[in-house]
């Protein structure tokens, strides 16, 4: 006697939850890959990533709807709904993490060690090309008090080195950090002994650019190193520019302790 095998119906919401979550991940991957490797405009990349987050949220709603249907009707699809939930939550975790980071931090995108005379960005052909022809960023004085309250550790670095040595240390640290050196001018001891370094740091995921200006100038018996880090994208840097300074300052400190 033949056995009749009945294919139990599946929850369509569960099926579409998984499909939508996968599409969200693919869309997010396209946004990140295009920004990092294909030089897609940052705003366009963020728009695509925003679409990915919308899809992830939709997938999560579909998973919730599927859970209700499965509970009430006993339909199959719990596994697909679970996959949709996990994938969408994994993608939504990133903006949730950024939101949590941003809450206690000021809405600034420019950090400097010198409020009175911030390190200037260079106007050489190399520097202009690296900024895609955009003018050097100008600093908003209103950011000074916000920065001082949030990042009191961002201070000038004073070292017991000659200007040439301090310049070489600063240049080496910038390279060691993986920053792209755009242009540099060693100290001109016949004039004022001031040196300049301009570099670009990148965010870890999207590869968004942070323009960095480093100034080295002599003091009476020491040398002072100032740094300025500015985000090209957005009005909130999520603390990235202060982190750039901390990494640079730590590198200088380590270099000074080397025998």
Dump pLDDT digits (tens) for 211-221. 999 999 999 88
Which residue from 34, 235, 25 is spatially nearest to 143, judged by alpha carbons? Answer: 235
Which residue from 134, 125, 153 is spatially nearest to 231, judged by alpha carbons? Answer: 134
Residues 6+ apart with CB under 8 A from 60: 17, 84, 85, 88, 89, 92
pTM: 0.85
pLDDT averages per 10-residue partition of the chain, 259 residues: 56 90 96 88 92 96 90 84 94 93 92 95 86 81 95 96 95 97 89 91 92 94 96 91 97 88
């Amino acid at each position: 006697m033949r056995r009749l095998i009945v294919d139990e119906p599946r929850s369509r919401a569960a099926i579409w939850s998984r499909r939508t979550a996968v599409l969200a991940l693919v869309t997010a991957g396209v946004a990140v890959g295009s920004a990092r490797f294909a030089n897609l405009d940052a705003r366009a990349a963020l728009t695509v990533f925003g679409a990915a987050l919308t899809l992830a949220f939709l997938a999560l709603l579909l998973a919730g709807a599927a859970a209700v249907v499965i509970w009430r009707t006993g339909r199959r699809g719990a596994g697909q709904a679970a996959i949709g939930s996990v994938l969408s939550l994994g993608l939504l975790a990133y903006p949730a993490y950024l939101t949590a980071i941003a809450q206690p931090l000021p809405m600034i995108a420019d950090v400097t060690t010198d409020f009175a005379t911030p390190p200037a960005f260079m106007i050489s052909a190399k520097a202009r090309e690296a900024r895609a022809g955009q003018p050097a960023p100008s600093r908003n004085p209103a950011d000074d008090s916000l920065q001082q309250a949030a990042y009191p550790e961002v201070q000038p670095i004073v070292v017991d080195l000659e200007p040439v040595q301090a310049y070489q240390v600063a240049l080496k640290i910038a390279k060691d950090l993986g920053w792209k050196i755009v242009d540099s001018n060693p100290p001109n001891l016949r004039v004022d002994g001031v040196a300049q370094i301009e570099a670009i740091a990148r965010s870890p995921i999207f590869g968004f650019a942070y323009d960095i200006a480093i100034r080295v100038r002599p003091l009476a018996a020491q040398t002072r190193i100032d740094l300025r880090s500015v985000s090209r994208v957005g009005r909130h840097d999520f603390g990235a520019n202060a982190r750039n300074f901390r990494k640079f300052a730590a590198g200088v400190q380590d270099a000074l302790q080397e025998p």
